[in-house]
Structure 1
Amino acid sequence: MQELTWQSVIPRFSNVEQQINNYAALVSMPPCALQPRLKNSIQRLMNNSSSSRLLLVTAPDIHDYYSLIKNIVANFLPHKNIPVLLCENFDETTLFGGVYSNPADVTTSRIVEGLVHQANGGVLLISLTVMISQPNLWIRLKHVLATHSLAWKRMKQEFYCELPKPNEISLRIIVIGDRSLMSDFETEEPELHRISIYTEYEQDVFLTIENVDTYLSILKGFQTYYGVKPLTANAVKRIMQEGVRFTEDQDRMPLCPLWIKSLMQEANYQSQHDEISAYDVEMAISQKYFRESYLPLRAVDYIHKGQVFIDTKGEHIGQVNGLTVVERLGHPIAYGEPTRISCVVHFGDGDISDVERKVDLAGNIHAKGMMIMQAFVNAALNLFEPLPYSASIVFEQSYCEVDGDSASLAELCAFVSALAQQPINQSIAITGAVDQFGRVQAVGGINEKIEGFYYICENRGLSGDQGIILPKTNLNALCLNHNVANAIKEKNFYLWAIEHVEEAFPLITGLRFSDTKETKQRQANVNKLANKKQKEQETILGKIADRIDAFHHGEQRHTSLMYKLRNWLAH
């Protein structure tokens, strides 16, 4: 287990500090400088010896991406007079042209060329969204690729006119669409998809000491392209920190032009000087959140008013604070929200009832997490017969679908607490997925989850005992706001990163999970962090074993209502 310091929750980029400070001296570079796969694919498409004349690019179907890809294509043209045309919104006429008849003289007609004719000998960039919505156009375009010719069609079938001979067309096509549309394209055209060149516009890049100058030069290229004020070194650093939240990885930086454009232009709007400072970037981020924060603040308000029950102090058996990320249709941001997960245990056949799943409010991944959790508990108890207790686990006051396995650690803690009759500290929230061996695995939306619980605790008053247990594998995704970082710095809020399930129990229950050597060592580490002395005490598994043993020896049965009823009927 590792207690996190305030320095570790905000990326510092100390290894590239010198390069960031040298930002003003860098030369602008285009985004393709860090798109090697895209560049390689376009270069292959433009090669005359290439057998394929169709390139599929997975990218958002938005003008910014078309422009960037068009600029990359222009760099590989053997001659500057080769046409490169964008075809973002089209119909049959604009794409293929046609022949208009003259009602007064059937021997004359007017020929109107389409984009295919205009791009003859060059490259045509086409929207996959529009193409799929008009399948007849794709059939005709596919014929052009196969035969290198395009037959003319009359624009008004009711008027006869002579049609010119088919045109010879030499064309290279780049089809741009998102991943779901590419999947549809592959389903409808599996053979063509197989022989096409395929690549992607990569949305982020792994930042190293070798490519950091290139990445900073690309940021400067965007700065020039979008016409914003020059960025200071501290502003660049703040943009990179916000980029970590976008990628959820401290080692990866965003290349998405829309994200960069939005943040730079917002900061440019905030700037009152000749340069964009870190303060301007910070204000752009906070103002954007202010405009989008209605739903998140309403959710917090429900908790503060007691309409949604979340305890941040005291202890309860079979109850734990889980952390969720809420995504609403039509709402631009995801936000973190704590949720109360409860478990009750009763006599039964060892089955764990997932209430969310039974009422169709949980997805398949959530169901998988529940099964994995149950498998770990069964293996840890090492029983030779079914557990004599059944359990019911539920997300309290949840009225929409729940999916994902990020709550499986919290659900496990609630179940074990109910089984052992050992209370859980409510000032600590938990997030993490578990495998069948008890290892804690990474989850998504970690920054939003932490901040969501922190705001609840802050509003009620930080007690100095509150904190969050999270997977150690999520440390590289952390980029928390300064309010949380300052609270951690002042020891008013804590983050504990764990690798195994057993490390959570000493923190939330005060008892170690089992009596193994590894568990004792984990307990010693927890005590060391908490400035407590190691002492011999009962374990969670020991309390569960005692309860099972009491059941099998009849102590529980003799006190049950059913036993008394049967005994009365027998006499």
Structure 2
Amino acid sequence: LFIDNRDTGGAPVVVEPNPTYYNLVGRVEHENRMGMITTDFTMIRSGALHRANGGYLILQANDVLLNLQSWEALKRVLKTREIRIETIGEQYALLAMTTLKPEPIPLDVKVILIGNPLLYQLLYRYDEDFRKLFKVKADFDTAMERSVENIAKMANFISNHCRREGLKHFDRSGVARVMEYSSRLADHQEKLTTCFNDIVEILYEADAWAEMEGARYVSKSHVEKAVKEKIFRSDKYEKKLLELVEEGQILLDLSGEKVGQINGLAVLNLGDYIFGRPSRITASTFLGRRGIVNIERESKMSGRIHDKGVMIISGYLGQKYAQKTPLTLSASICFEQSYEGVDGDSASSTELYALLSSLSGVPIKQN
């Protein structure tokens, strides 16, 4: 018996975590008998495509692409609609080894590839077979509306996961705190994240804190403790920057008024942790015809988006103040004590305020 799906309630759904060539299309095994390599029909092993025949096969796109032979074999069976069990070594060996060659098996399967948008775009653009074989795209958002219905579904997800994994159940305050954390991950008060792995991590950690306290249920305090400890494991660089500010090594004026000077906030993304770094932005204006000089760009520490933002400021000043006469102006904009480079256009309005302050002589409050 090659494949037995009698106990399957419907169409088979197979998830292959290790999609190597042989795990997908099967193989013919061999054994050594007194120095001779032998095989027979009882040593033919099925692959994930055989087990999913008549149903669905779910694969991680990145795992398949890391095995080049797997990707080519997957495309071949989808194009020919049949599975051939072959040995990879025959394609590269100088001498072909005599072995069993099972008859091809007709294939009727739906393959679901899971991957990120960048991977999809690359495959769609550079692999012609991909766009022919995988025609249906389902693009899942990383956030959903914070509606009553979705909150109830999230609460059910928490309850089901706790029941399945043997965790302590969450009380109403604990569930509410998880919802707040979900909105924070979504960066929106009216949305919830759909990155459930991040939610599951907090469930496990909150359960551990409740277990240490001997609590029957996981409450708000346990979730807050889990979130706090998660931040503690990742906020080393943020604390170091705050120390530099407190020690006066990073110069900031947080009181009074200054001309041509304003405080901005640069966002640093460390992957699993994002925080803001305060920066002093200064603008100097003087007679000349050079226009606005982006010091970060001149020192090759500015990204293209930030350069575009500075050019937009130049266009705004020209449109606003140079309709009748040419704008005779030289100005410079600088992020002080910035050594890691600057990109993005979120600080464009802040830079404009500093420029207008320098031009007019009107001071800006530093708080």
Q: TM-score range by the shorter chain?
A: 0.7 to 0.9
The structure 2 residue matched to 1:305, chosen from 243, 247, 251, is 247
Aligned residue number for residue 405 of structure 1: 345
Change (3 A) 1:121 1:313: same
1:264 aligns with 2:200: no
Q: Contact between 2:58 and 2:113, CA under 8 Å: does it hold in 1?
A: yes
1:390 aligns with 2:330: yes
1:92 aligns with 2:21: yes
Q: Contact between 1:100 and 1:155, CA under 8 Å: does it hold in 2?
A: no
Q: Contact between 2:25 and 2:84, CA under 8 Å: does it hold in 1?
A: no
Q: Contact between 2:123 and 2:130, CA under 8 Å: does it hold in 1?
A: no
Instruction: Determine helix, strand or coil for the equivalent of 1:292.
Output: coil
Aligned residue number for residue 143 of structure 2: 204
Q: Which runs of 5+ in 1 are unaligned?
A: 1-78, 428-571
Change (3 A) 1:327 1:214: closer
Instruction: Determine helix, strand or coil for the equivalent of 2:233.
Output: helix
Change (3 A) 1:319 1:294: same
Deviation track 1:103-144 (CA, whole Å, cap 9, x = no partner) reads 848794632222222222222111211222233322221121
Instruction: Determine helix, strand or coil for the equivalent of 1:264.
Output: helix
Aligned residue number for residue 12 of structure 2: 83
1:180 aligns with 2:115: no
Q: Contact between 1:342 and 1:396, CA under 8 Å: does it hold in 2?
A: yes
Aligned residue number for residue 45 of structure 1: none
Query: What is the CA RMSD across the aligned residues, in angstroms?
Result: 2.4
Measure the CA separation in 2 of the matches of 1:227 and 1:354.
Answer: 57
Deviation track 1:304-340 (CA, whole Å, cap 9, x = no partner) reads 1111111111222111101111124xx6301111100
Instruction: Determine helix, strand or coil for the equivalent of 1:198.
Output: coil
Q: Contact between 2:151 and 2:179, CA under 8 Å: does it hold in 1?
A: no
Measure the CA separation in 2 of the matches of 1:405 and 1:192.
Answer: 36
The structure 1 residue matched to 2:174, chosen from 235, 256, 262, is 235
Aligned residue number for residue 189 of structure 1: 127
Deviation track 1:165-200 (CA, whole Å, cap 9, x = no partner) reads 212222221111112211222123346426521113
Measure the CA separation in 1 of the matches of 2:235 and 2:148.
Answer: 37
Q: Which runs of 5+ in 2 are unaligned?
A: 1-7, 91-95
Measure the CA separation in 2 of the matches of 1:155 and 1:418.
Answer: 71
Aligned residue number for residue 416 of structure 1: 356
How do 1:282-301 residues align onto structure 2 when only pairs under 5 Å count? 282-301=224-243
Aligned residue number for residue 317 of structure 2: 377
Structure of higher RCO (CA pairs closer than 8 Å, 6+ residues apart): 1
Measure the CA separation in 2 of the matches of 1:408 and 1:257.
Answer: 35
How do 1:223-372 residues align onto structure 2 when only pairs under 5 Å count? 223-271=162-210, 272=213, 273-328=215-270, 332-349=272-289, 351-372=291-312
Q: Contact between 1:349 and 1:386, CA under 8 Å: does it hold in 2?
A: no
Deviation track 1:256-295 (CA, whole Å, cap 9, x = no partner) reads 2211101111211222211111111111111222222211
Measure the CA separation in 1 of the matches of 2:183 and 2:146.
Answer: 11
Change (3 A) 1:218 1:404: same
Q: Contact between 1:86 and 1:126, CA under 8 Å: does it hold in 2?
A: yes
Deviation track 1:363-418 (CA, whole Å, cap 9, x = no partner) reads 12112221222222333335422222210101111111211111111101111111
Instruction: Determine helix, strand or coil for the equivalent of 1:391.
Output: strand
Aligned residue number for residue 33 of structure 1: none
How do 1:101-250 residues align onto structure 2 when only pairs under 5 Å count? 104=36, 108=40, 110-154=43-87, 157=90, 158-190=96-128, 192-193=130-131, 196-250=135-189
Aligned residue number for residue 3 of structure 2: none
Instruction: Determine helix, strand or coil for the equivalent of 1:320.
Output: strand
Q: Contact between 1:319 and 1:343, CA under 8 Å: does it hold in 2?
A: yes
Measure the CA separation in 1 of the matches of 2:319 and 2:165.
Answer: 58
Instruction: Determine helix, strand or coil for the equivalent of 1:200.
Output: coil
Measure the CA separation in 1 of the matches of 2:39 and 2:260.
Answer: 88
Aligned residue number for residue 93 of structure 2: none
Instruction: Determine helix, strand or coil for the equivalent of 1:399.
Output: coil
Amino acid at match of 1:424: I
Measure the CA separation in 2 of the matches of 1:214 and 1:92.
Answer: 39
Instruction: Determine helix, strand or coil for the equivalent of 1:234.
Output: helix
Q: Contact between 2:260 and 2:364, CA under 8 Å: does it hold in 1?
A: yes
Identity %: 29
Change (3 A) 1:162 1:211: closer
Instruction: Determine helix, strand or coil for the equivalent of 2:297.
Output: helix
Amino acid at match of 1:111: I
Measure the CA separation in 2 of the matches of 1:126 and 1:211.
Answer: 28
Amino acid at match of 1:120: N
Amino acid at match of 1:392: S
Change (3 A) 1:239 1:87: same
Aligned residue number for residue 435 of structure 1: none
Q: Name which of structure 1's ranges 194-203 and 164-173 shifts more when overlaid on structure 2.
A: 194-203
Instruction: Determine helix, strand or coil for the equivalent of 2:284.
Output: strand
